[in-house]
């Protein structure tokens, strides 16, 4: 199947005010198995959720690639221009069910959880039911994460939230520092 079977949008944005939007080169999606296509993912400005606080993500850029397969979804999250003081640091990052609103970490709501969206009141919290995109910052100030989950992402205004700490087994990862708007159609 050709590339038209899936829709991949890439974006890159400045996290801080001082940095203009930067064209972030994202590689085309890898060829998938059983690719059902149909995913539309929009990536917009990365927003600062702690505008009153200096953190290593100020001025960073990010992009998300999403490929919806038949029965699964693959995500690639890439960041650049993270401050080098954060080299080797691991940040938690997840797809959240709500929108990304600058200065309002709560707007992103809870993690996207396929059990919760199915109405399960005692959802499993894991990398199989949620989209966890923790990344480690390298010496060049870049980071990336890749995840494939065994469910198809549902449409809606979502966000990737970057947290201050790595994700613990119970899904928590500390303060919400920044987010990337993601519109899934």
Q: Which is nearer to Cu ion, 6 or 167 (CB)?
A: 167
Is position 161 an interface residue for Cu ion (rule: CB under 5 A)?
A: yes
Site string for Cu ion, 72-111 (x = CB under 5 A): ----------------------x-----------------
Q: Which is nearer to Cu ion, 13 or 161 (CB)?
A: 161
Smallest separation, CB 173 to Cu ion (Å)? 6
Rounded to whole angstroms, how far apart are CA atoms 29 and 75? 9
Backbone Cα Rg of the chain: 15
Is position 158 an interface residue for Cu ion (rule: CB under 5 A)?
A: no
Smallest separation, CB 72 to Cu ion (Å)? 21
Cα 161–chain centre separation: 6
Torsion 157-75-112-55 (CA) sign: negative
CB-CB neighbours of 121 under 10 Å: 6
Q: Which is nearer to Cu ion, 94 or 158 (CB)?
A: 94
Residue 145, strand partner residues? 77
Pairing of strands 176-184, 143-149: unpaired
Q: Which is nearer to Cu ion, 6 or 94 (CB)?
A: 94
Where does this chain touch Cu ion (CB under 5 A) — which range of 6-14, 112-120, 146-154, 157-165? 157-165
User: For residue 88, what are the contacts with CB-CB under 8 A and spacing of at least 6?
Assistant: 136, 137, 138, 139
Q: How many residues make contact with Cu ion (CB under 5 A)?
A: 2
Rounded to whole angstroms, how far apart are CA atoms 78 and 38? 22
Smallest separation, CB 135 to Cu ion (Å)? 13
Span 17-76, contacts to Cu ion by CB under 5 A: none
Residues that bind Cu ion (CB under 5 A): 94, 161
């Amino acid at each position: 199947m050709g590339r038209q079977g899936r829709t991949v949008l890439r974006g890159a944005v400045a996290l801080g005010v001082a940095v203009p939007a930067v064209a972030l080169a994202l590689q085309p999606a890898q060829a998938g198995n059983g690719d059902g296509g149909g995913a539309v993912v929009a990536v917009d400005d990365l927003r600062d959720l702690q505008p009153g606080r200096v953190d290593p993500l100020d001025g960073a850029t990010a992009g998300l690639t999403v490929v919806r397969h038949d029965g699964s979804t693959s995500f690639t999250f890439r960041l650049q221009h993270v401050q080098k003081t954060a080299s080797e640091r691991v940040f938690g990052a997840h797809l959240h069910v709500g929108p990304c609103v600058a200065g309002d970490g709560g707007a992103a709501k809870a993690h996207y959880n396929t059990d919760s969206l199915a109405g399960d009141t005692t959802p499993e919290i894991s990398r199989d039911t949620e989209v966890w995109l923790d990344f480690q910052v390298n010496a060049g100030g870049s980071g990336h994460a890749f995840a494939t989950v065994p469910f198809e992402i549902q449409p809606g205004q979502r966000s990737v939230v970057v947290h201050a700490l790595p994700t613990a087994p119970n899904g928590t990862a500390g303060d919400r520092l920044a987010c990337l708007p993601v519109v899934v159609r």
